[in-house]
Structure 1
Amino acid sequence: MMVDISTDYMGLKLRSPLVASSCGLTSNLKNLRSFEESGVGAVILKSVYEEEIIHYTKVSITRMLSSGFIYPEAMDYFEFEFNQIKDPLSDYLNLIRNAKAELTIPVIASINCLNAEGWLDYAQKIEQAGADALELNLFILPSDFTRTGQDNEAMYFDVVAKILSKITIPVSLKIGYYSAALGMLIQRLSETGVKGITLFNRMYDPDFSVDTLEFTTTNVLSHPSDFATSLRWIAIMSERVKCDLAASTGIHSGQTMVKQLLAGAKVVSAASAFYVHGIPYAQEMLSDLKRWMEEQSYPNLDAFRGKMSKDRTYNPAAFERVQFMRYFKDR
């Protein structure tokens, strides 16, 4: 049985539902070629941070002013300067251009941001460079005791409104799960005009040595069991949003990819699996997906996508249950 694993995501045509997530592996053209050769449907470039954008933009402006160009035409010089100097921002734009020139799969840029200040003009440059879409890795840690939950959530909508007024390519949000009303937040964000929402971004967790009291990094890579949180919320939200959903974190096998698709995800994005097994591991994941579809007689992804979502499964309460007691009552 021949199966079709192509899909569409944010209006883009993808040959497979496996997406290479934003990470260090997607920061150079050689790896991007390898991802394409391994069968992924799209690549999301490593994020550029709003702090980088603001810093290097200020550096360019400082150079412009120090050169004596203070009349209106100086902005033409600024544009030239911005595109000629060697810095991470111009390098990122060149990576987009080169990737679009060589790859046949969609190339999605990524900006890691906290608010809508200082980087919107650069987002326009990303669009002009040829990116097929833009992912905003947006996470607000609710640790500011002067801000309410409503204040924090308002920041999401402010960012979305401003970026959608600046660019025309599809925009997706990659968000965290800290929210007192997460389901409602996801639903409302899906109604803003964004084309996709990724559940969830992987957060940095601090750790420190008890001997030296120095901070260290911990759990940089996801664990295969980490998929459960996004699986729950993909299943809960898949029938209740007005944009595509992508599942992220803990995608380490073809079986996990199948689960997320059954829950209702349009695509799944993976990174840690490729760090552990190598980029060609994408072929094995996709082969597992095809094999399962053949065994279950599913001709395409739409034939089973969302079959285990909360609104369609035989046991919707399973996604609402948060206590372990029923499993341990006899032990």
Structure 2
Amino acid sequence: MPDLTTNYLGLSLRNPLVASAGPLSQTVDGVRSLAEGGVGAVVLYSLFEEQLRHEAAHDILLEESNEEFYAESLSFFPSVPQHNADNSSRYLSLLERSVAAVDIPVIASLNGSDLGGWVEFARRLEDAGASAIELNIYLVAGDVATRGRDVEDKHVEILRAVKAEVAIPVAVKLSPYLSAFGELAMRLDHAGADGLVLFNRFIQPEINIETVSVESGLELSSPFEGRLPRTWIAALRGRVSACLAGTSGVDTSDDVIKYLLAGADVAMTTSALVRHGPRHARRLIDGLDLWLERKGFASVEAMRGMLAIPAGANATAYERAGYVSALEKAKQQYGSLV
């Protein structure tokens, strides 16, 4: 049988399928079901910068409310706003219990867009047993005067701050909506990123013309969405030292195979596992295994990156040629489009 073992972020995985951050990794039972389903690693759901900031603000308020109390008043509970269960403590507890419950790597996920206490929290994730940390940098520059370089610099700044806090591997999950994504990917690689996860999905609001309002929501990804991350993975393969993870659009084993051929070290999925259940992971892995055997590959490593842009090629010209070729094919089918 083909060898499916994979190295990702310096971690040894039994196969290249990773359950990305999502609703199935919000409980120990969920993490266990994903491991039993066959994935090589699990990324816990994301802990948000805003949650940690809210906790810090609440702690300060509580401390200030108690400053004027005398010792004999210790049994008195001050009147402060109600606060939900400590998000950070619950996350750390989930992480510790998940690590103890499964025999595959458990990766913690932090979602933020600025520096602050959430960066320092990375060390607590390491202490709780995380095999690695995935930084989900969800940075939407709503200020139209913000320069592209400032946005890119912030990504590098956040990575360096987290790397200074921990010894475990750190991956960065990125958006494609940047002025020169390839150059930023290389900057992050040089700044010490152990992995790059392509791509984050921005929430795109919809307008309801009946209620005349803006509605937000998140739809499960479709296989078509895998084309953009695979394009960039193919361009980055061999040009960065960081591991490459493809996420979005993984629904069938064919999608996993395409990511690997493009040069991804692992393929990540949440939508497919939500849509079909954790056991769907086994179907994805079995499909990959059968394809490798049918094509005569002894291992995943033997076929990884076969369709990446050759290291010595002019990547810009390569992509341009693909664009022109696609238009020519479209012209044959639909007539002139330009």
Report the TM-score, using the length of structure 2 for normalisation: 0.88
TM-fit CA distance, 1:159? 0.5
1:265 is matched with: 264
Query: Which ranges in structure 2 are unaligned for 5 or more consecutive residues?
Result: 70-83
Match of residue 146 from structure 1: 145
Higher mean C-alpha deviation, range 171-180 or range 218-227: 218-227
1:39 corresponding residue in structure 2: 38
For residue 192 of structure 2, what is the amino acid of its counterpart?
Answer: G
Q: Match of 2:179, as an amino acid?
A: A
Other structure's SS at 1:45 match: strand
**Deviation digits for residues 15-50 of structure 1 (CA, Å, limit 9, x no counterpart):** 111000001111111110011001101100000110
Is 1:195–1:243's contact at 8 Å kept on the other side of the alignment?
A: yes
Q: Aligned residue for 2:20? A: 21
> In the TM superposition, what whole-angstrom CA distance separates every residue of 1:119-175 from its partner, at most 9, and x where no partner exists?
122221111111111101013224422221111111011101111111111100000
- Paired residues of 1:204 and 1:220 also in contact (CA < 8 A): no
The match for 2:251 is 252
Cα shift at 1:213: 1.6
Find the aligned partners of 2:160 and 2:318 in 1 and give their Cα distance. Answer: 35
Instruction: Tell me if structure 2 keeps the 8 A contact 1:207–1:217.
Output: yes
Quick check: 2:42–2:104 contact (8 Å CA) kept in 1? yes
3-state SS of paired residue (1:119): helix
Q: How far apart are the structure 2 equivalents of 1:325 and 1:244?
A: 32
Residues 1-331 of structure 1 correspond to what in structure 2 (within 5 A)?
A: 2-68=1-67, 86-311=85-310, 319-320=319-320, 321-322=322-323, 324-330=326-332, 331=335
Kindly, what percent of the aligned residue pairs are identical? 34
- 1:256 Cα deviation (Å)? 0.7
Q: Is this contact kept in 1: 2:112–2:139, CA < 8 A?
A: no
Equivalents in 2 of 1:112, 1:219: separation in Å? 16
Q: How far apart are residue 282 of structure 1 and its match?
A: 0.3
**Within 2, Cα distance between the matches of 1:107 and 1:225?**
28
TM-aligned CA deviation for residue 67 of structure 1: 3.5
In structure 2, distance between residues paired with 1:35 and 1:69: 50
Which residue of structure 1 lines up, in the alignment, with residue 73 of structure 2? none
Partner residue in 2 for 1:82: none
- The match for 1:81 is none
Contact 2:131 2:168 in 1 (8 A): yes
| Structure 1 residues 68-110: Cα deviation after superposition (integer angstroms, max 9, x where no partner) | 499xxxxxxxxxxxxxx93211100000110111111001000
- The structure having more radius of gyration, on CA atoms, is 2
Query: Which whole-Å CA distance do the structure 1 matches of 2:331 and 2:245 have between them?
Result: 36
Q: Is the 8 A contact 1:306 1:312 kept in 2?
A: no
Question: What is the rounded CA distance, in whole Å, between the counterparts of 1:3 and 1:114 in structure 2?
Answer: 41
Partner AA of 2:44 in structure 1? L
Letter in 2 for 1:100: V
1:143 and 1:59 map into 2 onto residues whose CA distance is: 27
Whether contact under 8 Å (2:120, 2:162) holds in the other structure is no
- Secondary structure at 2:109 match in 1: strand
Displacement, 1:325? 2.7
Residue identity in the other structure for 2:154: M
Cα distance in 2 for partners of 1:183, 1:256 equals: 23
Q: Map Cα deviations across residues 175-231 of structure 1 (whole Å, 9 max, x no partner).
A: 001122111111111111111000101111101210002222355211111110111
**Given residue 60 of structure 1, which amino acid in structure 2 is its aligned partner?**
D
Opposite residue 206 of structure 2, the aligned amino acid is D
Q: Which amino acid aligns with 2:118?
A: W
Q: Which moved more, 1:57-66 or 1:309-318?
A: 309-318
Of stretches 113-122 and 285-294 in structure 1, the one that deviates more from structure 2 is: 113-122
Residues 219, 95 of structure 1: alpha-carbon distance in 2 compared, 3 angstrom cutoff: closer
Instruction: Give me the whole-angstrom Cα distance separating, in 2, the residues matched to 1:282 and 1:231.
Output: 20
The offset of 1:304, in angstroms, is: 0.7
**SS of the counterpart of 1:329?**
helix
Distance 1:167 1:181 in 2: 28
Q: Which amino acid aligns with 1:35?
A: L
What is the number of residues matched between the two proteins?
Answer: 316
Check conservation: 2:239, 2:311, Cα contact below 8 A: no
| Cα-Cα RMSD | 2.1
CA change 1:262–1:313 in 2 (3 A) is farther
Compute the displacement of 1:313 (Å): 11
